[in-house]
A and B are shown apart, each in its own frame.
Chain A
Amino acid sequence: MSANPVLALAPRLQRAGGRDGRTTTALAATAFTVSTALTLSVVGALTGFVERAAHPVTELEREAGSFYVVLAVTATILLVVPLLTLGGAAARLGVARRDARLAALRLLGATPREVVGLALVETALQGLAGAVAGTALYGALLPVWTQVPFQGRAFTAGELWVGVPVVLAAWVAVPLLAAVSGAVSLRRVVVSPLGVAQRTTRPGLRAVRVVVAVVAVGAFMVVSAVGQMAAAVLITVLLTGLALAFLTMNAVGPWVLGVLGRLQLRWARTPAQLLAARRLLDDPRAVWRVVGGLGLASFVAGCLAVVPVLAGGGGDPVGDVVARDLLTGALLTLGITFLLAAASAGIAQAAAVLDRRRELALARLAGVPGELFDQVRRREVLVPLLVVSVGSAVAALVMFFPLFGLAAVTAPSGILLLVGCLGGGVAMVLAATEASRPLLRRVLADTVVRAD
């Protein structure tokens, strides 16, 4: 253990955090667990496809092994951002909850470096706990993944096992990423403590983000149209396009949500509408971190709409297997992305309840009905969620239009899949936000607003 007396206090302070401290620690560790387990699962699948390509057993594996690897890489890229988002949300949650205790330590004479170090040690420990638990969850999920057939046969647990070096790497990487993400959050606190603590109005996001988006979409459409002529570069174009789309959405998403918030504020008639609009305007970036995951998932669903076109379905048995595998893989990717988005949403809602515990409790004492906060919670998630998910799906269709033409839109199975996935994803995220309802009730009931 460190010889530094402040850092030595870390475990004791962790215990002293009380019920809320334990709740946030559990939430953060759970988020790290989920993201670690799913990351290892995805890496395991990628390893499995790489192994099959390197040592093919069937004709299909010999012929299309490398194509499957490319698809697995694509799925991994699709999941990287939501996975990092969830991990980052967990780290921020852990750091944010420590504000009060860190302030108390500062008053006791701890230096800023010691305080930051203490917070990061705690966050890294949560990350480590999550990484270890996530590895166990990954092990528990292996039998589930072995039920899913690819290339005509299901993977064995051995094929999907990432190996000890990767597990150890995860145990180092997850705490490290947690600490880095936490450090970024703390830097904001240090740079502008009042802004974070007192919720002052933040500067608006600039419309230049839209210009960036329009340029990016236009560039992609031109490049992909040219790419059609040279099939060899198609895959490169596809992967580049996906990366470009993610960057574009992350640049534009918060700005769009800010505009949406201003419109909602102008049209608000009821207290729930007013509060939901204000919360969205309060920090569009934070809301984007919640719904952005589903935005990306919807983008994937938009891409899926063209899978039947890509598969063709010309009666070739090998072609049929590939088409089925494409749909299976895409569905799995989508399901995991939705799960990650739902987890991010649940964590963000729980953090919001704990952040506002005093004002919520006082509002209840003054007669504000608890149902109002339920309405606000649903509304503040649902409206941006619908706009972002539908918007992203449409954006995907528009961007891939030059590649696949009208067939993508007219293929009914693809569109049905898209609608089904959007509905399922929205329902899952709403269910996750409902998970914070008991916490809200407990906060309203338990919060002592002033000791007599």
Chain B
Amino acid sequence: MTPTARPSGPTTAPPDVPHPGATPLSADARLAARGLVHRFGATTALAGVDVDLGAGEHLAVMGPSGSGKSTLLHVLAGIVVPTAGVVTLSGQEVQGLSEKKRSLLRRRRYGFVFQFGQLLSELSALENVALPAMLTGTSRRDAEAEAARWLATLGLTDAQGRRPGELSGGQAQRVAVARALVTRPEVVFADEPTGSLDQTTGHDVMSLLVSSTRAVGASLVVVTHDADVAAWCDRRIDMRDGLVVPAGSTTGGGVGPRPGEREAHAAGGPRDLGSASASGALGGGAR
């Protein structure tokens, strides 16, 4: 499950075929990528990256600005088609799918948490969470019932009827977490999920993101430049100049979760999800 680390080096003129040194695709990985290359004009954002993500595994992607970590997330999530390389979800290649099929894939099998501004401003918190379920064919009634359970689980019962503009930053991100998980996705992609939050609120949001994702058995990819955020995950890869580099070479080790907290999450005992209502919410999928 270890990413294939490549030495950092010049990023000019990489090949447009899977990297010759790419390791074979892992058969048991939920999400796997080999030889990912992506260019924007003359700029090479990914210069040959291999990644494996196991079922339920949480992976942090770290690196400074311009290192290619967001591009990697976009390629893994099927948002962007790589210039070269292969991405598979449960063994099925996704990079060759049409835009429409990749859009369906993202809607049905992936969940997303962005830095901010992802909630539709005209909808209430409840409707925002219900929307992805409705888009996959769930009736409005069932979708809103499921959304209400998720919001209750994340401590947002009182905020159900509020619009995004009436939520605090932390509340909005928790709503975003609920929205990402309401369809019980296989993989959740989080792009700087705490980037717009203060440290305490960011800590709470990461705690909920990690525990909720684990509770539904989803894998998690978190892109961040914050070592504290990365420390919540099972594993971390560092990126520089479009390549995976040895861990810790781009930033120092993080402080991460409070003592004992990460162990609790790893053991599947999320801090805020242990109640009867929580298990009810997480047990019944919207799909």
Q: What residues make up the interface of A, taking CB atoms closer than 8 Å to B?
A: 194, 197-201, 268-271, 274-275, 278-279, 281-282, 356, 358-359, 362-369, 372, 449-452
Contact = CB atoms under 8 A, between A and B. Distances in A.
B135 A271 contact: yes
Interface string B147-190: 00000000000000001111000000000000000000000000
Given A199-B163, A366-B106, A366-B112, A271 B121 contact: no
Nearest to B65: A452
Given A199-B122, A199-B164, A452 B114 contact: no
9 nearest A-B residue pairs (beta carbon): A198-B165, A367-B106, A367-B107, A452-B70, A278-B122, A199-B121, A366-B112, A362-B118, A200-B165
B264 interface: no
Given A271-B134, A359-B118, A452-B65, A369 B103 contact: yes
Which of A270, A449, A451 has the most B CB atoms < 10 Å from its CB? A449
B152 to A, nearest CB: 21
Contacts of A278: 122-123, 127
Contact of A356 (B77, B112, B121, B191): B121
B150 to A, nearest CB: 16
A279 B117 CA distance: 17
Given A271-B131, A271-B134, A367-B105, A194 B120 contact: no
Nearest to A369: B103
Given A199-B163, A271-B135, A362 B114 contact: yes
B26 interface: no
B79 interface: yes
B67 A452 contact: yes
A367 B121 contact: no
18 contacts: A199-B163, A201-B166, A274-B134, A282-B122, A363-B118, A363-B120, A365-B112, A365-B114, A366-B111, A367-B103, A367-B105, A367-B107, A367-B110, A367-B135, A368-B107, A450-B70, A450-B115, A452-B45
Contacts of B122: 199, 275, 278-279, 281-282
B114 A449 contact: yes
Interface of B: 45, 65-71, 74, 77, 79, 100, 103-108, 110-112, 114-115, 117-123, 127, 131-132, 134-135, 139-140, 163-166, 191-192, 195
A359 B165 contact: no
B216 to A, nearest CB: 17
Contacts of A372: 135
B140 to A, nearest CB: 6
Which of B74, B114, B139 has the most A CB atoms < 10 Å from its CB? B114
Given A274-B140, A278-B123, A452-B69, 7 more contacts: A200-B165, A270-B134, A281-B122, A365-B106, A367-B104, A368-B107, A452-B70
Contact of B192 (A198, A362, A450): A450
A377 to B, nearest CB: 13
Nearest to A268: B140
Nearest to B133: A271
Given A199-B163, A271-B131, A366 B123 contact: no
Nearest to B141: A269
Which of A358, A362, A369, A372 has the most B CB atoms < 10 Å from its CB? A362
Contacts of A199: 121-122, 163-165
Contact of B117 (A201, A271, A362, A369): A362
A416 to B, nearest CB: 39
A369 B103 CA distance: 7
Which of B70, B71, B105, B134 has the most A CB atoms < 10 Å from its CB? B134
Contacts of B166: 198, 200-201
Which of B108, B112, B122 has the most A CB atoms < 10 Å from its CB? B122
A452 B117 contact: no
Contacts of B132: 366-367
A363 B120 CA distance: 8
Contacts of B127: 274, 278
Which of A198, A274, A281, A366 has the most B CB atoms < 10 Å from its CB? A366
Which of A197, A274, A451 has the most B CB atoms < 10 Å from its CB? A274
A190 B191 CA distance: 33
Nearest to B140: A269
B134 A359 contact: no
A359 B163 contact: no
B115 to A, nearest CB: 6
